[in-house]
Each structure stands twice: as C-alpha cells, then as structure tokens.
Amino acid sequence: MTGTGRTRDELPLPGGVPAVISTAGPAAAAAAGIGIDRAGLGPLRSRRRRWLAGVLASAFVLVGMLGQAVPAQADMSGEPVPSLPGRPIEAVPGVSGRTPDAAVRTADGRRKASLPPGMGMTLGKAKAGPAPRMVEGSDDPNNPPTCVPYITGQVTRNGTALARVDYLAEIVCNFYLAGAGQAYLIERTGGSRYNGAVIAAAAPFYFSSYHYGYSIGAVLIDGRIYDGGRQLEIGFDLALQTLDGTPWGGCFALPAPQRYLSPCYGLGTSYLSVSIGSGVFNTGLPAYNPAAAIRDIPAIDLLTFHVGGQSDPASTARQNIVDTAAGLPAQTSDFSHVGRTSVNLDLDMLRGILSLHLQNGFNFRVTAIAGSRHGATSRHYVGKAFDVDTVNGAPVNTSNPFNQAFKDACRAYGATEVLGPGDDADHATHIHCAWPR
C-alpha cells in the first residue's frame, strides 16, 4: 500500500460495516533485548594474567551464547527513532476508562515464529551484509521477514444502557526490530456528534531488538449519557524500524476484518509507520434516548401538574419528557407568553439532567421544562431550561445545603444561566438551569 498524499493522522470513515471483531485475542508483555559488546584482550605476560584471561574467555563464551538468543541492538543513531502520532482524545461524557480485563489476552501472548505468507508488512531486498536476524524457527525461505498486526476486542453488556469494551492490539514479527504501537477507540456511530473522533486510548508500547508488542485498554460506555458508542472501531498506530537498515518492501493483506486506515509511510526505507483498524463493530447499545432514561428513573421526580395551579396536562414536566422519549416535540403551555407551541428539548440539557443524578448522585424534583409561565424571553419556551424545587428530599430555599453544589454541577454540564435562592426574589424557592440558545 503506497502513499496517497493524505495526512499521517487520517482516519477515513468506513465505506461499510465489516463483521464484528473477534472476541478472543491473546497478548503478553514485550521484553527488551540485551545489547552485548565484545572486547579484545591485550597481551598476557604472567601466569596470573593467563589465569584471568581463561576466566574472561569462558565468560565471553557464555555471553556469546546468550547473544545468539537475544541479538545486540544495531546502531540506529542515523535513523529516526520509532515514535507515535499521539492521538488527541475527545473528552466525551459517559465514557470512562477501566482496568483492562486480563482474560482478553493469554499469559504467554501471541508469539509466532512463522507468519502467514503474503500477509502483513514485509521487508524488501536486504542491503549488503548480514540479513535481519530471524526469530528461532523462522528460517523458512518461503516466509520472508514479516510483521502481522492482530486486533481483538470484547464487548460486555450490563443491562440495556451500559457496555464495557476491552480492546487489544498486537504486532507479531518473525524477525528482530525496533517498534512502537498504540491502540485506541474510534467513534463510528452515524449521526453522533463525535463520529470519527478518538474517544479512548490505551497505553503505548515500545521495544528494541524484539519481535512482539501489545497495547490494551478498556472503557465503560453509559448509553444514557453518551450520544454514541453503538458502533466503534479499534485503531492501531504502528512505527517499525529495521535494525540493519533493510528497507520495507510492501504492505499486503491483513487478517479479516482488519483494514488499513492510512497509507504505509516509509516504504523503501528502514522506517515504516501505518494506522490499522479492526473494522467497525456493534456494541448492542440502543439508539440514544436520554429522555427515556429520565422518564424511567424514580429519583428524578417529574411534576405532573403546574405549580401555579393552571390546568394544562399536555405541558407538565412529565408530559414534556414522555413526549420527547416517544420522539414527539414537547409542548409549551397555552397560558404562557408564547401560548401553545411545539419545541424540541435540548440534548445537552437532557444529558445534564441525567448527569446530575447518575454522576453527582442528586435526587430532585423537576417542576417545569417547556411548560408553565416564565419570563417573556425565557429559555424554557425553546426547550433549553428546567426548574427544580426539591434537592435530596429537602425544599429548595436558603436552608438547603445542596443548593450551591447543584448549581455548580449545572454549570459544569453546560448551563450558562443558573439562578436560585439568594440570587433574586423570583428564584427564592427553586433552582433554574438554562443552556445556551
């Protein structure tokens, strides 16, 4: 695969959705090679020196034997050091890091001396001098020096709203080289505001004079808060360098459903960099519907009447949420400044209502969203504000110790207009949180 002039960090959107990734994938920690320097001995003019020389000679024989098992690292001072692009991670609400599940990989890792012919990244014609040192058992003339990536993942569901994703990326070579790699998760859900963004990344690996490395990570996705996560792809950035200057010859087929996300940069040189994807897979999370989650959480109490005593059941706080959960617009009240109108409730506001309970632990009662009567230019009338009159079982007034924490949390979730007791007379008995127009 040759360069096309794209930027190195390009992550093209998929043309289709390949099969779900394999749920079985081993890995193991990469061990660094040991460099050995051999020095000559000077003339020995005494029996003591001859005895010492014999001891040193025996030691060098042993060191030489070890050198056959783990080759010395060549001088790479004139070549670029393997480095990774450092993917920027989009901080998305509802996605949190977890300790990877050890069961996703085996204790011994994926160590193969023989790799599938015609698959992966293969070296070109060797330069003059010793050939690249092969892993023991990889001397098949039909199996040239090759590296093959393997990307695997595991999705674990917890009810209908939560999905844990463990992901693993490995590189296996049949010769010794220097390398670096990092696995990460790419959002691929159509319609999500984060589609195409990197939402999590695992710790990178680096090795020298070795043939194997892995990067493993895990996240928990809360589908009630996060608008996405239904379709993902595991990405794998690789930087590989030969130790003796042998150039890379080509990038060929990958184990299905893996695919190249970038061209192979550096073909014809000793330094290769490439980005690989697992193929898009489904997590099983349902379509994003924060209003349905709000509707079904008892700790978020939605008023079924208007605090002013007016009769208009179509515009109560609960009915606003019920309608939105069903894919219908919410209604303003016929006794409001704007009369009866239909509005779509703001998604950031809905996510904020959920987060106040799911992330901060508040229990509260919502008295109004789009309905009831407010100021003539209120953001309530455009579906971007809500009011609460109890927090953690206590009325909202100057004595409620949770007022300030609740207001601060509203601001943290994007509200730009937050008022409550002590701010003005109109908000002495409730907290008002509103999002930008």
pLDDT in tens, 311-344: 999 999 999 999 999 999 999 999 999 999 999 9
Which of the two residues, 244 and 363, has the higher pLDDT score? 363
Average pLDDT for 36-53? 32
Average pLDDT for 36-61? 33
The per-residue pLDDT for 124 is: 87
The per-residue pLDDT for 113 is: 64
Q: At residue 193, does pLDDT exceed 50?
A: yes
pLDDT in tens, 207-219: 999 999 999 999 9
Which of the two residues, 245 and 316, has the higher pLDDT score? 316
Average pLDDT for 271-286? 97
Confidence of residue 144 (pLDDT cuts 50, 70, 90): confident
Confidence of residue 52 (pLDDT cuts 50, 70, 90): very low
Q: At residue 28, does pLDDT exceed 80?
A: no
Average pLDDT in the chain? 83
Confidence of residue 136 (pLDDT cuts 50, 70, 90): confident
What percentage of the chain reaches a pLDDT higher than 90? 71
The per-residue pLDDT for 139 is: 66
- The pTM assigned to this predicted structure is 0.78
Residue with tokens 């360069």: 3
Average pLDDT for 276-296? 97
Q: What is the spatial distance between Cα 333 and Cα 320, in angstroms, rounded to a whole number? A: 11
Average pLDDT for 85-107? 91
Which of the two residues, 377 and 58, has the higher pLDDT score? 377
The per-residue pLDDT for 54 is: 41
The per-residue pLDDT for 109 is: 75
What percentage of the chain reaches a pLDDT higher than 70? 79
The per-residue pLDDT for 43 is: 33
